[in-house]
Structure 1
Amino acid sequence: MTLDAHSYGVVEVFTADDGHDVVIRGRLDVHSVPDVRDAVHAAIAAGTGEVRLHLGQAEIGDATGLGVILHLHRRATRADRRLLLLDPSERTTRLLRGCRLDRILTPRRTAVTSLSA
């Protein structure tokens, strides 16, 4: 299913027939946000379908990390694409709920969470 893979530091992007899978590992904060933003912007511009952010191995470290997810959602919406948050940690889910962003960014659990190059 993976046609192409690119690595952007803490982020890997996999191109699939039905969209893009973006796997984020580690802490999502002011230091890693530029890599995440660049990777997802490229994925949004490169095709159609869903953009799936796999957050099972990521933690939101500060407000910048949360802000970039909201920014990416808006960017995807403007490009007529759908941004999905897959397998976020309990902490991330609580942050989304606490900021009432869970109404816009619905976290989802998947049965299979292993994507790797």
Structure 2
Amino acid sequence: MHIRGDHAELVVGGRLDVRSAADARTVLHAAVDGGDGDLVLDLAGLDSWDATGLGVIMGAHRRAGRCGRRLVLRKVPPQMQRVLVATRLHRILAIEPRPVSGRGAGPEGSASTGVLANP
């Protein structure tokens, strides 16, 4: 797992799982505590995650709320998006809609895939 960025945007790559949870939690908490406004978590490079990794994201979300900030997930991988919808966490977390590529509005930008922006 690797995380790079600052107090406004972090890019997460690799595996977010039980082995990397403590390090990820430390980095996310420092970013939340050290800034203001939205903290964007870019997940495009995330290869895999487990329940512990999802718990780290939820913990950062709660901590951000307590600090008057908002955690925003960007470029959520499709498999993770399905898990967020199945667990209804997409209703709690702020998730940027994925940009529609190609012609027309394909299913990747529709609400039926669970890609929702949470104001």
Question: Shorter-chain TM-score category?
Answer: 0.7 to 0.9
Q: For 1:34, which of 22, 31, 56 is the aligned residue?
A: 22
Name the structure 2 match of 1:97: 85
Name the structure 2 match of 1:50: 38
Name the structure 2 match of 1:11: 3
Name the structure 1 match of 2:49: 61
Query: How far off its partner does 1:32 sit?
Result: 1.3
The structure in which a higher percent of residues are helix is: 2
4+ runs deviating over 2 angstroms:
none
Rate the CA distance shift 1:105–1:71 in 2: closer, same or farther, 3 A.
Answer: same
Number of aligned residue pairs: give it: 99
Normalised by the length of structure 1, the TM-score is 0.78
Asked whether the equivalents of residues 84 and 107 of structure 1 are also in contact (C-alpha less than 8 Å), the reply is yes
Query: How far off its partner does 1:97 sit?
Result: 0.5
Gaps of 5+ in 1: 1-8, 112-117
Q: Secondary structure at the match of 1:11?
A: strand
Asked whether the equivalents of residues 18 and 52 of structure 2 are also in contact (C-alpha less than 8 Å), the reply is yes
Q: Within 2, Cα distance between the matches of 1:84 and 1:78? A: 15
Residue pairs, 1:15-26, within 5 angstroms: 15=7, 20-26=8-14
Q: For 1:88, which of 73, 76, 99 is the aligned residue?
A: 76
Identity %: 40
The structure in which a higher percent of residues are strand is: 1
Gaps of 5+ in 2: 100-119
Query: How far off its partner does 1:27 sit?
Result: 1.0
Query: How far off its partner does 1:65 sit?
Result: 0.8
Asked whether the equivalents of residues 10 and 24 of structure 1 are also in contact (C-alpha less than 8 Å), the reply is yes
Larger Rg: 2
AA partner of residue 101 (structure 1): L
Cα RMSD for the two superposed structures: 1.5
Q: For 2:67, which of 79, 82, 89 is the aligned residue?
A: 79
